[in-house]
Structure 1
């Protein structure tokens, strides 16, 4: 179990840590290349929707062949996409590399794949806790990597910084060896399956709780990507120094370490639906407070700390609930479907933020949307039923 946690945590730290810093590239790239903020936002929005779409198919492959092969391909695609970002000369090329290629890479190197390994290797009594630890690793990646990325941009320029990250992300390859599963090796028997992929999909989409979790996760994606990508530019518009944005995103990552671990621990002892509803309500409350007080470095840091504690706290709770309801046989695939909804929200959060800014010169409407959606997500999680589905016992062959 320790090897799975360490290697999986390191993979997520790298993959999510690099991803959370993309907002730092918005201003240097658009200013040097003469592109609009909407064009940059569109590329990152495509990245999120590609991640969501590919996550479903990557989950199916990971459930059938194991995470090891998926991680190898995902790492290579991530490096290729980062290098392509650095060398892009047009918004279209940037959208293809930063969008499609990196989106596919993230599908193969982040939570859905690693959570599938955890589901199969960690006992149910410890599963929510283990997923909280893994989500905390992604948060540590944000805390550690965002300042590193900011320093790289300042010291060697945005293009060279991306090339350095392209080399760094290849470290996922050796880490993938620590996530090889005996049941998926050539010499070991494959796990028995009493459901086909189609049966598992049909069962999930007939289950109201699955649809409610999926709807709530849409809001999570909208809020996180709007803030993560547009917050640095929002602070710049108010005359705050660039380091305030870097520190604010780092604080999100730091406090998210505690938030995700706490959420995973509490999920072992309290109904997850109530915890999820509380997280979404508190996000909206924190946003309202941030918009009402005069903006300053201190208010930015306080908001970042509060949002950080709530940032990825939904991840272990949502995925553990899916595992609790449906079991682990098709966990990566079902997590991929839920995450697709998250990424549709991410697409809209990134794109709408850039669109509204270019049209109105302000992020105000996007902030109001984020607040309203948070209240909606809190409401839709309340009716979720967490009990395991009762299926007919399969007849032995």
Structure 2
């Protein structure tokens, strides 16, 4: 059990940690290329979108041929994309390295595949806390890797620092062996013994898209993507716009990661004790109140770090109840694909958060209007989860043909 969680959590720590520290290089990329914040933000925004687009397909492939091969491919793509980014001098080049290779690899070695693999390998009674632990692994990666990135940049320059980040992610390769196997094979064996058959990927997807609760969950997760991508991409810029040093930006990102560890573990524990839709509504309410207080408060280093810690508590804490609701509604057989579809919606929101953050800054010289959008979306997300029905809505098998 613990080896599975260590493998999935460690792989997520490295893939998400490296990916979410890329925002620390935005200013250096702008200085080196002269492309402007808006153009570079487009590459980051495309990466948010592509990270989401890869996950349903990566999940479907992992469900069919096994998670291990998909994870290996993803880690190698992250490394290549990150290593070649300093050589890119055009917007299209940055879109290719950051948005296609790096983000695509992170999608293949990302939450839909890793969490589905751990869900498949864990007993049903332990799924909530196991998802929380794996999710906390991603947060620990951000907490641990952001200071390393800053230290490397100070000692060897931003370009070499970024390339070392790309090589660092390859340490997750051994996790692929521990997480090998696929959910469909296990489900098919059980179904054959019971005289039933597993629904095909197309049948399960069609069923999910006709389920109102699944669609509401997708809309809420889109809002989460907007919040998360805006912070991951533009929090260093927010710190700089407030007249603070890059060190504060690095520690703010690290605190987001650290406190998301606590939030993820707490949410994984809470999933088995309270209604998951109510937990999601609570998370968005807390997030909205945190943004409101930050907008009204004086911008000092202490306020910035406290805000980062509060955002960290809700940053990816939405994942355990979201994964839990999908597993409860549809079972584990097609988890990677179904959660991957939700991640696609999450990253559509992420694209908007990263892109609009750069556009608003370019037009107004600040981020105020993005915070206002953040507030409105948080309030909408808190309400939209309330009608969700928490019950098994469909079976993953049908009677076998005579």
Query: Under a length normalisation based on structure 1, what TM-score does the superposition of the two structures give?
Result: 0.96
Q: Residue 62 and residue 272 in structure 1: after superposition, are their counterparts in 2 closer, same or farther (change >3 A)? A: same
Cα pair 1:13 1:138 within 8 Å, conserved: yes
Alpha-carbon distance in 2 for matches of 1:99, 1:120? 30
Cα pair 1:84 1:94 within 8 Å, conserved: no
Cα pair 1:119 1:328 within 8 Å, conserved: yes
Question: Within the alignment, does 1:380 sit opposite 2:384 as a pair?
Answer: yes
SS at match of 2:310: helix
User: 2:254 is matched with which residue: 240, 250, 257?
Assistant: 250
Alpha-carbon distance in 2 for matches of 1:270, 1:132? 15
Question: Within the alignment, does 1:308 sit opposite 2:306 as a pair?
Answer: no
The structural deviation recorded for 1:172 is 2.0
Alpha-carbon distance in 2 for matches of 1:182, 1:288? 44
Alpha-carbon distance in 2 for matches of 1:183, 1:327? 10
Q: Residue 260 and residue 155 in structure 1: after superposition, are their counterparts in 2 closer, same or farther (change >3 A)? A: same
| Aligned match of 1:120 | 120
| Aligned match of 2:11 | 11
Question: Within the alignment, does 1:151 sit opposite 2:156 as a pair?
Answer: no
User: 1:394 is matched with which residue: 390, 395, 399?
Assistant: 399
| Aligned match of 1:170 | 170
The structural deviation recorded for 1:181 is 2.9
Cα pair 2:75 2:173 within 8 Å, conserved: yes
Question: Within the alignment, does 1:227 sit opposite 2:220 as a pair?
Answer: no
The structural deviation recorded for 1:302 is 0.9
Deviates more, 1:227-236 or 1:373-382: 227-236
Q: Residue 394 and residue 259 in structure 1: after superposition, are their counterparts in 2 closer, same or farther (change >3 A)? A: same
| Aligned match of 1:75 | 75
Alpha-carbon distance in 2 for matches of 1:202, 1:46? 27
| Aligned match of 2:339 | 335
The structural deviation recorded for 1:184 is 8.4
What are the ranges of 5 or more consecutive residues in structure 2 without an aligned counterpart?
Answer: none
| Aligned match of 2:31 | 31
Alpha-carbon distance in 1 for matches of 2:119, 2:401? 25
Cα pair 1:183 1:191 within 8 Å, conserved: no
| Aligned match of 1:85 | 85
| Aligned match of 2:201 | 197
Question: Within the alignment, does 1:207 sit opposite 2:211 as a pair?
Answer: yes
Alpha-carbon distance in 2 for matches of 1:105, 1:395? 38
Deviates more, 1:317-326 or 1:384-393: 384-393
RMSD of aligned residue pairs (Cα, Å): 1.7
Residues 274-324 of structure 1, C-alpha deviation per residue, up to 9 Å, x if partnerless?
A: 000000011010001011111101101111111111111001110111011
Cα pair 1:128 1:316 within 8 Å, conserved: yes
Alpha-carbon distance in 2 for matches of 1:302, 1:194? 48
| Aligned match of 1:265 | 269
The structural deviation recorded for 1:33 is 1.5
The structural deviation recorded for 1:161 is 1.1
Residues 176-211 of structure 1, C-alpha deviation per residue, up to 9 Å, x if partnerless?
A: 1121238789xx979865101110011000100000
Deviates more, 1:161-170 or 1:284-293: 161-170
What are the ranges of 5 or more consecutive residues in structure 1 without an aligned counterpart?
Answer: none
Q: Residue 356 and residue 388 in structure 1: after superposition, are their counterparts in 2 closer, same or farther (change >3 A)? A: same
Deviates more, 1:148-157 or 1:367-376: 148-157
Residues 55-109 of structure 1, C-alpha deviation per residue, up to 9 Å, x if partnerless?
A: 1111100000110000111111111111121211222111111011112101111
Residues 239-267 of structure 1, C-alpha deviation per residue, up to 9 Å, x if partnerless?
A: 11111111111111111111000011101
Alpha-carbon distance in 1 for matches of 2:336, 2:263? 23
Residues 1-20 of structure 1, C-alpha deviation per residue, up to 9 Å, x if partnerless?
A: 22110111110010011111
Cα pair 2:120 2:183 within 8 Å, conserved: no
User: 1:217 is matched with which residue: 191, 198, 221?
Assistant: 221
Alpha-carbon distance in 2 for matches of 1:47, 1:378? 27
Query: Under a length normalisation based on structure 2, what TM-score does the superposition of the two structures give?
Result: 0.95
